[in-house]
Amino acid sequence: MGVSRRRFLSLAAVGAGAALPGMASGTAFARTGAAPLSPHRFDPWVEIIPQHLAHNTSEVARLAGGRPILAVVKNNAYGLGLDTVGPLLDANPAIQGLAVVKGEEALALRAAGVAKPVLLMGMFDPQEGPELVRAGVQLALFTPDAGERVDALIRDLGGHGSLDVQPYLDTGMGRMGMPWQDALQWVVDLAARPHLRIRGTFTELSESRELDPEQLRRFLAFAREARARGVELGPLHAAASNGVFHFSDSHLDLVRPGIALFGAYPSEPEVEREMAELLPAVRLRARVVRVAHLQAGESVGYHRAWVADRPTWTATLPVGHVDGYRRESVNGAQVFINGRLFPVIGGVSASHSIVNLGDEPGARVGDVATLMGPHHPELEPTRMADLLEVSAYDLLMHLDPQLPRVLMEETLR
Active site residues: 74, 302
Longest dimension (CA), the chain: 79
Contact in structure between 26 and 410 (CB atoms under 8 Å)? yes
Residue 27: how many CB atoms within 10 A of its CB?
15
Secondary structure letter of residue 204 according to DSSP: -
Per-residue three-class SS string for 30-87: EECCCCCCCCCCCCCEEEECHHHHHHHHHHHHHHCCCCCEEEECHHHHHCCCHHHHHH
Contact in structure between 279 and 412 (CB atoms under 8 Å)? yes
Cα(97)–Cα(114) distance, integer angstroms? 9
- Mapped onto helix, strand or coil, the DSSP state of residue 223 is helix
Which amino acid type is present at position 401?
Answer: P
Cα(232)–Cα(114) distance, integer angstroms? 27
| Distant-in-sequence, close-in-space partners of 339: CB < 8 Å, separation ≥ 6 | none
Contact in structure between 222 and 188 (CB atoms under 8 Å)? no
CA 284 to chain centre: 14
Quote the radius of gyration of the chain (alpha carbons, Å): 24
User: Sign of the C-alpha dihedral, residues 258, 263, 268, 272?
Assistant: positive
Q: In degrees rounded to 5, what are phi and psi of residue 340? A: -130, 155
